[in-house]
Structure formats: structure tokens, C-alpha cells
Homo-oligomer: A and B are copies of this chain.
């Protein structure tokens, strides 16, 4: 199991999460490439230095381009704000590095397409941080749908709602910048759109309404000056999947009380599934056609029977957390680099998701149904 050099750009929430996941993946997945934390980059030198020390990188830099020039680094993780994703990704691919980029990779589908085509042309492995679908119980859900255990799917109801923007005094930031690709539809909607695609395949048509609930934000914490918000706080989509069934999707970052309401309910002619990230080790399953006296929604608890849970813990009931999902993501990324199956989501998939985001934005402007191009 050879070593592989890692460079991480960004030292915030996701920079730490990526590093944690690389460290963990090698130990938890037998046969994994063994990540070596080479260099961490942050525009803020002291943040870079401190991260290097704490996270265990061999070196640090305030210039992310140094990572691209380093032959010891084969993999680049990009965890900086959205607006930087394109430049860094393209440069990293050009430098022959495998790229993991946080979502969304681009502010619009055209940019995502450019990146996807570059990735395709490079022959390198890309990965985008749609970590939630790495959950073993969602792999089970996908498998049950694919196997026909739920019959023909008749409807999907998806939502990703949180409340971190509910307070009107949360200040303006890059997350509110349309040119940076943000808004609830991009930030949260991309997760539930990606989950919908993971389970049910392509979405062919969208009818959306996007709404800005908090019309302006302080330009800084506590500032009296405010700036108009141009992106959506809530996006409500009615969609049709290429497989035939319809559904709804909501992205909402002003959903008071919700910290991680990412989930779905879907019905098929032979069964139904219900999931929420709020209880990520559970999947509810209704099997139609059983003994009417004792049939109902089954609370499936994540366990070693749901790979790769068993690599984390040989016993059921112990539960995975968010960082474990991130570890699975990284392990699958490393496995793909090592010649294994392409687990994705890669830049191509990110482009597909971004197309739906763009279609939703345009549909809302036109107030009409639109096909996904």
C-alpha cells in the first residue's frame, strides 16, 4: 500500500474535515493508499502555520500555487470560498494533480462544464464534497431502489433546511454573492439535488420559486450599513425525474430550529423510504404487502451489514458521525486514484447538479417550467 502525498488549500471547517478524513481513511480502510500530509496552504500565514502544526502537515505556505509545483503532492484538496474553486481546480488539474474540491465547484453550469471538461481531458480523478450520500444507509437506499425492492417509484419529497441564516443580523458574506455561486439553492439545494440524483437518477424538468426572505444584511457583524441580498433564502422546486416520477425539493437556510434537516421521503409501488440527516444512522423502510397486522415503517439502524460501516466498527449500534462520512468520501477518492471504481461525485456530476441549480434560478425568474438542458 503505497503512500500518497496530500496538499490541502484552506484551513477552516472543511480544511480541518478533509485533513481529518485523510488521516483516518488510511487506517480504517484496509488496502487504502496511505495519505501523507505534505503541505497546507492558507492565504493567512499564521493560520497555515498553526494548521500545519496541529493537523500534522510537513509544511505550510501562504501561496497555494506552491502545492502545484511540489512533485511529492499528488492530490489537492480545495476548501476555500466558492469563488476560488475554478481557478484552483483548473490549475491543479493542469499541474497533473488529482483534485478534491468542495461544493459548489462553480457559480454556474457553464463554469462547471468547463471544469468538468478539463477534468475529463486530464484523465485525473476528481471528487466533490457531497459527503452526505456516503452514508451506508443511503447506499442501502440506493441499492433497494435499483433492485426494484420498492417497485416503481411514484414520488419524491426532498428537503435541505437549516437555520444559520435565519437571523437577519447575520452579516453579508460570500455566501450571499450570486457571482460566487451561492444562495440556499446552491449551498444547500445542491446537497439534496445530489442526493435525489444519487437515488433516482437524472432530473429532467424543473419548476422553481426562489425567494429572498431577508432583503438586506449588515455589511459586517453589528454594522448599521446594510447590503441588499440578491440570492435566495428559500428555493422551492417541483421536479420531474427522467425515470418518470415527480417530486419536490426545498432548500432553505432560514428554517428556524433546523440544524440539518437534509432528507427525503419517497414512495414506490412496493415500499417507501424515509430519511433525515438529523438521525443519520437510521433509515425508515415500509415494505408493502406484508401481514397487515404487523406491517409498518421499520427503523433500520446502521450496522456492519451496511458496508462500509463495519470498517469503522464491528458491532452494530455504535453509530457513524459526520467525520466518518467524510472519511468514506476520502477513502473512495483514494481508491479511485488507486485504480478502483470511480465512486464520485466527480466534476461531471457536479456539473449535472449545477445545471439543475441554474435551471431552478431561471425557472424562478421566468415563473415557468423549464427542461434541464
Contact = CB atoms under 8 A, between A and B. Distances in A.
Contacts of A314: 12-13
B293 A154 contact: no
Interface in A158-213: 159, 161-164, 166, 168, 207, 209, 211, 213
B27 A316 contact: no
Contacts of A30: 54
A39 to B, nearest CB: 15
Which of A17, A281, A303 has the most chain B CB within a 10 Å cutoff?
Answer: A281
A60 interface: no
A69 interface: no
A301 interface: yes
Given A159-B157, A313-B17, A293 B288 contact: no
Looking at chain A, what size class is its interface with the partner chain?
A: 35 or more
Contacts of A298: 294-299
A324 interface: yes
A229 interface: no
A316 B271 contact: no
Interface string A271-296: 11000011111000111100011111
A1 interface: yes
Interface stretch (A97-105, A245-253, A329-337): A245-253
The 9 A-B pairs at the shortest CB distance, nearest first, are namely A260-B317, A321-B321, A257-B286, A259-B317, A318-B322, A257-B272, A259-B316, A320-B321, A296-B299
